[in-house]
Amino acid sequence: MGEISCSNGIGNGNGVNGKTHSSLNGYRKSCWYEEEIEENLRWCFALNSILHTGASRYQDIALLDTKPFGKALIIDGKLQSAEVDEFIYHESLVHPALLHHSSPKTVFIMGGGEGSTAREILRHKTAVKVVMCDIDEEVVDFCKAYLVVNREAFCDPRLEVIINDARAELEIGKECYDVIIGDLADPIEGGPCYKLYTKSFYEHTVKPKLNRGGIFVTQAGPAGIFSHTEVFSCICNTLKQVFKYVVPYSAHIPSFADTWGWVMASDTPFTLSADELDSRIKQRIKGENRYLDGKTISSASTLSKAVRKSLDNETHVYTEGTARFIYGHGSVQKQNQA
């Protein structure tokens, strides 16, 4: 997750990696999470505590107790979700695709090791089988142990958890799915996931595993007025090369300090009105959504003029040789302050 830095509040405050300095008289210790989200721009917030840090063979993992956002899951130095607003991300990722499908019975999740995506899918009464395929068993076990909100989902008999590379699992498996969801880590240079955002993967692995009328949806990185050109616009354009109907949409995630993007794709058109979506929400979903209703889903795909123009003019197609990556990394810093 980047690094843990500590300092005694003297000098430049940059700290010494891996060493803890005792507090000086008259000083109080504070702890902050800091993430570089753009060049010359960092996002940080205060912590109550560092609940756990560790590393798997694939990535660094941390669970932080933050003052503004509750428990926050950090993987490879990037905030993945925070307790107080993860419902915005996961409702937006899951429900539009499942509601637009006529009867989604089988769903495959690429990634999603924290269990929140599975939790939202399992609220759908039509869901018969949900396969969550994450490459990192240690992340899955970590989230089972620490994220209490998802324990019920992990115990649901409709959920099958597979530890494998999502590409390999889809390629060797014989089953097709009504909905495939990409809940992957952001494409970070050197990270394990960027190859799962490519045209060849969508065309030769994902699309053949969709049933007739099937829908694919993926998280697609920052979609803000300045940040959408990192990966959002080219992921959208890449999917346009593979599917007939592609719908980019976005929502603001406070803990991400940005608007976030998703892209939904199918060879069947998305035609439901806000009222029809509300009707399906009432019929199909157990419990009440905190963020999404029909109007919210419909309006989420109304992007700003600047973003629409960029998406219309985007020509880049995501391949392994021409990959784009999300910017930045994060760290935890401890400082003693007067």
Residues recognised as catalytic:
183
Distance CA 46, CA 28 (A): 14
Q: From 57, 61, 56, 325, select the one nearest 193 (Cα to Cα).
A: 325
The burial of 158, by beta-carbon neighbours within 10 Å (0-12 exposed, 13-18 middle, 19 or more buried), is given as: middle
The burial of 225, by beta-carbon neighbours within 10 Å (0-12 exposed, 13-18 middle, 19 or more buried), is given as: middle
Contacts of 190 (CB under 8 A, 6+ apart): none
Q: From 202, 307, 191, select the one nearest 264 (Cα to Cα).
A: 202
Are 62 and 53 contacting, i.e. CB atoms less than 8 angstroms apart?
A: yes
Structure tokens at 3: 């690094």
Q: From 159, 153, 149, 85, select the one nearest 119 (Cα to Cα).
A: 153
